[in-house]
Amino acid sequence: MSVVSLSTQYMDNSRPLWDFHLLDFPTSEATSTAVMRVHHSLSDGVSLLTLLMSCARSAADPVKPPAMPPLPKRTGAIYARPRPPASAGALAFARWVWSFVLLAWHTTVDVAVFFATILFLKDTRTPFTTTGHHGELHRKRIVHRSLNLEDVKSVKQTMNCAVNDVLVGVTSAALSRYYYRKSGDNETGKDIRVRSILLVNLRPSTSVHASVNMIESGKGSDVKWGNQVGFIFLPLHIAMHSDPLDYIRKAKNTCDRKKSSLEVAFTHVAAEVFFKLFGPKAGAAIFDRMVYHTTTSLSNMIGPVEQVELFGHPVVFVASTTFVPQEAIVVNYQSYVNSVRLALAVDEAQFPDCHELLDDFSETLNIIKGAAVSLGKHNQKE
């Protein structure tokens, strides 16, 4: 059984909604590959990452658990606005109050777009738009490639942004490169609406650390598993720029704008209310319309920062992805040690050249990194 064939098979509801497959043959990267398929009703990506971290051991010292990822600087919600101290002055206080005005306005706009998307607002038809029909299970091919995490961090430092901003910018640039090559469209100023559903973890920023510690101390039953995610509609900038860093600037502006909104909290609550009030079928129908009216899904997760072992076997790479029947392409990033594993789940019939699309991502990152290095040298001279 191949990974491609798994995408066309429904999970057996009479059994636990997960299965484990061992592909016991060598590849260019590993001697064998373990594939775990889990229904999203059981867990989200952060829960599965916590499970991996608790089961793994440090390859350098198998007695110890793996080192935890560094704690993020942010401790509260992404939309949190800490009150400035009294010594900051009236101007700082006025800016703090104004941030809540913007928060309310941005939330109102995002909620309106959410309902408009469910009702009528569709993305522009592009080579990334699914050509399948409702209820069809198309074969999904999962292709992946390792990107250099240090390259991503180098761009991050030069552009004074977050790693997620860089990855969103690289995604926009790579999809733009593919779009203009395949479509033959020469109107670079054309307004193309391409949106991704970006999954956002709603747990505290220290949740992975706390959960692994509880499991290690024998309190695994206290860990909150399941799904604790919301989502936002994140526009992807499809355009051609002479300066490749414009993709990063655009991504940073877009992500900063989304951080000043309660959209992620609203979508989480709305999803729960829909399913509880109208039942799973009605909730699934609403979700289907939302997915059909957008283009792709996007996620980014932080993985182990050192090489780990599972039951004595060294783990070479970790690639996570999501199977969404209604989407022709899903983009996932998973960091592990000093690399970022890009995984694309694509419709096999719609993307027979999926490896060329992978090339677009890796080549785009190299181009953006080169531009960032040049900008950094120019700033140093000044």
pLDDT score, position 80: 65
pLDDT score, position 284: 80
pLDDT score, position 134: 56
Tell me if residue 57 falls in helix, strand or coil: strand
pLDDT score, position 46: 80
> How far apart (Å, rounded) are the C-alpha atoms in residues 16 and 319?
23
Estimate to the nearest angstrom the gap between the alpha carbon of 290 and the chain centroid.
17
> How far apart (Å, rounded) are the C-alpha atoms in residues 379 and 382?
5
Q: What is the domain partition of the chain in residue ranges?
A: 43-78+112-381
Please enumerate in sequence order all residues whose Cβ is within 8 A of that of 4, keeping only pairs 6 or more positions apart, or say none.
139, 140, 141, 142, 348
Which two tokens mark 197? Answer: 């559903």
Phi-psi region of 80 (alpha: psi -120 to 50; beta: other; left: phi over 0): beta
| Alpha-carbon separation of residue 247 from 31, 168, 366, 369 (angstroms) | 38, 8, 13, 12
pLDDT score, position 218: 67
> How far apart (Å, rounded) are the C-alpha atoms in residues 207 and 303?
13
| Alpha-carbon separation of residue 42 from 118, 132, 280, 322 (angstroms) | 25, 27, 15, 13
pTM over 0.75: yes
Q: What is the pLDDT along the chain (382 residues), one digit of tens a residue?
A: 567 777 677 778 888 888 888 888 888 888 888 888 888 778 788 888 888 878 888 888 888 888 777 766 665 566 666 777 777 778 888 888 888 899 999 999 999 999 999 999 999 999 999 876 655 566 788 899 999 999 999 999 999 999 999 999 999 999 999 999 988 777 665 789 999 999 888 776 666 666 666 666 766 666 677 777 888 999 999 999 889 999 999 999 999 999 899 999 899 888 888 888 888 888 788 888 888 899 999 999 888 888 989 888 899 998 888 888 788 999 999 999 999 999 999 988 899 999 999 999 999 999 999 999 988 876 766 6
| Alpha-carbon separation of residue 13 from 10, 24, 54 (angstroms) | 9, 27, 27
pLDDT score, position 289: 87
pLDDT score, position 136: 59
Q: Which of 220, 302, 225 is nearest to 55 (CA)?
A: 220
At position 243, the amino acid (one-letter code) is: D
DSSP state, residue 308: E
Phi-psi region of 102 (alpha: psi -120 to 50; beta: other; left: phi over 0): alpha
Active site amino acids: 40
Q: Is the dihedral of CA 100, 46, 334, 181 positive or negative?
A: negative
Q: Which residue is associated with the tokens 């959960």?
A: 211
DSSP state, residue 122: -
pLDDT score, position 73: 65
* Helices 163-183, 245-259: crossing angle, 10 deg rounding: 120
Q: Which of 368, 330, 3 is nearest to 161 (CA)?
A: 368
Q: Which fold has domain 43-78+112-381?
A: Chloramphenicol Acetyltransferase (3.30.559)
